[in-house]
Amino acid sequence: MTRAITSTLLSPEEGGPVKRTVLPSGLRVLSQSVPGFRSVTFGVWVGVGSRDEPVKLSGATHFLEHLLFKGTERRDALEISASLDAVGGEMNAFTGKEYTCYYARVLDSDLPLAVDVICDMITSATLTQDDIESERDVIDEEIAMHADETSDHIHDLFAEQLWGQTPLGRSITGTPESVAALTPRQVRGWYRSRYLPENIVVSVAGNVEHTDVVRLVRKAFERHWVTTESEPTPVRRGSARRVPTYGGVQVHRRDVEQAHLVLGMPGLVRSDERRYAAGVLHGIVGGGMSSRLFQEVREKRGLAYSVFTFGSAYADSGMVGVYAGCLPKKAPEVLDVVRAELANIAKGNITPDELLRGKGQMRGSVVMGLEDTGAKMTRIAKAELVYGELPTVDQILARIDAVTLDDVSRLAADLYAGTPVLTVMGPFDNKSLFTV
Amino acid sequence: MTRAITSTLLSPEEGGPVKRTVLPSGLRVLSQSVPGFRSVTFGVWVGVGSRDEPVKLSGATHFLEHLLFKGTERRDALEISASLDAVGGEMNAFTGKEYTCYYARVLDSDLPLAVDVICDMITSATLTQDDIESERDVIDEEIAMHADETSDHIHDLFAEQLWGQTPLGRSITGTPESVAALTPRQVRGWYRSRYLPENIVVSVAGNVEHTDVVRLVRKAFERHWVTTESEPTPVRRGSARRVPTYGGVQVHRRDVEQAHLVLGMPGLVRSDERRYAAGVLHGIVGGGMSSRLFQEVREKRGLAYSVFTFGSAYADSGMVGVYAGCLPKKAPEVLDVVRAELANIAKGNITPDELLRGKGQMRGSVVMGLEDTGAKMTRIAKAELVYGELPTVDQILARIDAVTLDDVSRLAADLYAGTPVLTVMGPFDNKSLFTV
């Protein structure tokens, strides 16, 4: 492509117009102009995550995310962070299984600075041997920290158990051993092969004009890259077949006050039409204080402080589950109550009131979850990078409204019949306490 | 007072006008009308916190916060949570050392419902014996959960160590023993004596008009309460003397991957004029990625993933401190680096660039931290309930701009000369590793 191509994806009625430009390099720029804010959130989304790593590169994507903050040809680590701190901006990054995101929230007048700094990191990281060695220690610290955050860490252990030794099952950070084994050559190769313009989406929301954003991004990025012939598309991943999943029980012995339980099973893939029914089901079973599990486990029996359902969807696999944290002596009873309620729901025992509440909750989270510039930035970026569609809020609300009690019951029967995985963490010596 | 008295606290230029009405009962209603949002955040702030409890009522304030969700004369627990879940609202509450807050975020059209439900809880909780018994178990679960969240829990242990067996030192939740000892009679007495209109501030921000808010609040609250003669004011607490604080080292043995270190000392009281200099000092020493401690501990030496400064201010006491999480073997070195940097700063070794960054960070957090309705609601409520003043954003920015390098150095010298407290958690058998 030799020139930029711009289109309007959503009209101003959506709380500000959404526009998209494909630059000659294949880099995509999306923006939503939102009046009434003094801040702008600017994000760069790279279509690479831990699931893209061959096993010998396990942890390389997350390692790169750290290393980009260590220095570029024009800035050292202090200059990178100082530039945005000086204007009161926030800058951070995160790595997922299917993407890596760098973002900054700044006052609108500081957008040029944010674009310049993050672009510099994306295109011109130096990845020196010294930085790689010292940052390895920081990654070790981060892995140790996560291992201690037991109520979060149990979710990683559950995913590892469900997906086994597959790219989706491996931890995003890698292990201390896999990170120790990464050579500078491997890390630099991963950077060069994945941080390419056709694999990157730039997304901005706030008090900005699309033409200004495009001008800034072109100035910062395009001199690094040549033009491309192909129209960029959402990242394609996985095969037509679903990723294999595994069942069973694992008990992780830890000397802690609270036991953590996750009971789950395979869920929907991202594109599944039943995802709106799945959202409503989540609200009914474990989404809020009036949900079935909160009522049965906490309100009626006082068995746990925290109990909720969760789920994730990827290109070719997904998961759903229930988390509960409780005193160790109560774990078997909590599991009994959870299992009984899932069975009940799978049999279609859902009241019309519960359906209404489940739909109301989902509607509320859609409308109220989009009020800040970070959420708006994320929505349009994910639509471009992984979903391949950007429905309007009204379209989403209509799809939620269309969900019937029958849709939800049939989905529950389907999902809860999947091979169960039970992950337990706590001061348990007798593993036979727990079965699936 | 026999009639409501309304005044305008801030003009519309402040991102929407802030108005205040005192109702005949003494209840205060504050609102900020913010155009461009579809949501409203509604909060009820009660001027009672854990520091107001006599020792035999330790945990009663937080226990009440839970119990108000269990039932009222008109609604049981399910009806309370279901009402807002059905419209996609979020409702929650938290207890601090100096206040308790109940809040809901809803679409603007659902504000009447949110006011009705939360008012019902505030004025008409039933506090039955059954609910008190079953909720005691939930509190036990919550205390166990907090004990496992080691990187948070170390802050509670630090506060207990700094303030000792005083109301500010005791944990907000109480202990399982103190909660077990609370009788229904004590809990009900605490509710009746503290949940009084002159001790309550209602605060709303979002797409609302002040007159509508006042009408809704009067309808919901005022029939429960008689008129009062006195003009309500910020809660007065403490004596002219400062709360005593204690120094020393405590090592809490835990079988965890990461050691947690908090090194701190007494800080400023809430009304101290030097609080703006303290905010700038925080930015310089440990507020962001370009701060002195992040650079020295993480960037240059790779010793920790997380290292930052923090502080709290109360009516008659305050604290400042440094947190670091690191592999146990690195703890002594991390402490050495932290101490050397604090000493350096206290000697006035601060660069003009650092001062500019510290001020920039504080400016950014003031301006960008007020973009959602929850933050706006909280700002006007705290101004009314505990600060007794509501400066404009421009006034705050002017106070930050006025901070000089000399102000910051003198404050650092003052604070860091305070009696130090060191709280350590980790797999340490040899406590003599650590000294203050």
Nearest residue in chain B measured CA to CA from A151: B149
- Among residues A431, A428, A238, A214, the alpha carbon closest in space to that of A327 is found at A428
CB A96 within 8 A of CB A51: no
Residue A13 pLDDT > 60: yes
Mind listing the domains of chain B with CATH numbers? Answer: 5-225 (3.30.830.10), 248-433 (3.30.830.10)
Q: Give all strands (DSSP E) within A34-111, no chain letters.
A: 39-46, 90-95, 100-107
pLDDT digits (tens, 9 = 90+) for A317-364: 999 999 999 999 999 999 999 999 999 999 999 999 999 999 999 999
Mean per-residue pLDDT of chain B: 93
Retrieve residue B359's tokens.
Answer: 């001020």
Taking an 8 Å cut-off on Cβ atoms, the answer to whether A88 and B362 are in contact is yes
Which residues are within 8 A (CB) of B24 and not within 5 positions of it... i.e. 6 or more apart? B1, B2, B3, B4, B222, B227, B228
Q: Which of B65, B160, B222, B296 is catalytic?
A: B65
Output the pLDDT for position B242.
66
Q: How far is CA B198 from the centre of its chain?
A: 21
Look up the ipTM and state it.
Answer: 0.90
Cα(A77)–Cα(A132) distance, integer angstroms: 13
A138 CB-near residues (< 8 Å, 6+ apart): A66, B298, B302, B304, B305
> Could you tell me the CA-to-CA distances from B169 to A22, A242, B55 in Å, in that order?
58, 54, 11
Size of interface A-B (CB pairs under 8 A): 202
Angle among Cα B167, B170, B171 to the nearest 5 degrees reads: 135
Q: Which residue has the tokens 């910020």?
A: B234
Is B360 an interface residue toward A (CB < 8 Å)? yes
Containing B436, the helix (H) or strand (E) segment is: none
Residues B270-303 pLDDT 10s: 999 999 999 999 999 999 999 999 999 999 999 9
CA distance B230 to chain A (A): 39
A229 included as an active-site residue: no
CA-based nearest distance B323→chain A, Å: 14
Q: What is the pLDDT of residues A73-102, one digit of tens each?
A: 999 999 999 999 999 999 999 999 999 999
Enumerate helices (H) and strands (E) in chain B, giving the number of each.
15, 12
Rounded to a whole number of angstroms, the distance from the CA of B244 to the nearest CA of chain A is: 32
B14 touches chain A (CB under 8 A): no
> What backbone phi and psi angles, to 5 degrees, belong to A247?
-110, -170
A136-178 pLDDT, tens digit per residue, is 999 999 999 999 999 999 999 999 999 998 899 999 999 999 9
Measured between alpha carbons, how far is A119 from A23 in angstroms, rounded to an integer?
A: 15
| Residue of chain B whose alpha carbon sits nearest to that of A77 | B299
B179 touches chain A (CB under 8 A): no
User: Token digits for A45?
Assistant: 């989304």
pLDDT of residue B431: 75
Whole-model pTM: value is: 0.93
Percent of chain A with pLDDT over 70: 96
Q: Which residue of B has its CA nearest to A283?
A: B85
Measured CA to CA, the distance from residue B392 to residue B396 in angstroms comes to: 6
Nearest alpha-carbon partner for A72 in A20, A10, A119, A30: A119
pLDDT of the residue at A229: 65
A chain contacts of residue B256, beta-carbon cutoff 8 Å = 148
DSSP 8-state assignment for residue B232: P
Instruction: Tell me which chain B residues have a C-beta less than 8 angstroms from the C-beta of A291.
Output: 85
Encoded tokens for A189: 């190769």
Q: From its phi and psi, is residue B3 left (phi > 0), alpha (psi between -120 and 50) or beta?
A: beta
φ/ψ region of B18 (left if φ > 0, alpha if ψ in -120 to 50, else beta) reads beta
Q: Does B88 touch chain A (CB under 8 A)?
A: yes
Q: What was the pLDDT predicted at A200?
A: 96
CB–CB of B248/B164 below 8 Å? no
- pLDDT of A240: 55
The answer to whether residues A320 and A342 touch, using CB atoms and an 8 Å cutoff, is no
Contact between B118 and B104 (Cβ < 8 Å): yes
Interface touch A360/B141, C-beta < 8 Å: no
Chain B residues touching residue A88 (CB < 8 angstroms): 360-365, 367-368
pLDDT by 10s per residue, chain B, length 436? 678 899 998 887 777 899 999 999 999 999 999 988 889 999 999 999 999 999 999 999 999 999 999 999 999 999 999 999 999 999 999 999 999 999 999 999 999 999 999 999 999 999 999 999 999 999 999 999 999 999 999 999 999 999 998 899 999 999 999 999 999 999 999 999 999 999 999 999 999 999 999 999 999 987 777 776 666 776 767 655 667 778 899 999 999 999 999 999 999 999 999 999 999 999 999 999 999 999 999 999 999 999 999 999 999 999 999 999 999 999 999 999 999 999 999 999 999 999 999 999 999 999 999 989 999 999 999 999 999 899 999 999 999 999 999 999 999 999 999 999 999 999 998 777 888 7
Q: What angle do CA B254, B257, B260 make, to 5 degrees?
A: 65
Determine which one of A13, A14, A53, A65 is catalytic. Answer: A65
pLDDT digits (tens, 9 = 90+) for A299-327: 999 999 999 999 999 999 999 999 999 99
For residue B212, what are its two tokens?
A: 């509508």
Burial class (CB in 10 A: 0-12, 13-18, 19+), B141: buried
Q: Which of B419, B433, B352 is nearest to A82 (CA)?
A: B352
Q: What is the mean pLDDT of chain A?
A: 93
Computed on alpha carbons and rounded to an integer, the radius of gyration of chain B in Å comes to 23
A20: closest CA among A3, A35, A4? A4
Cβ–Cβ below 8 Å for A134 and B301 = yes
First-last CA distance in chain B: 55
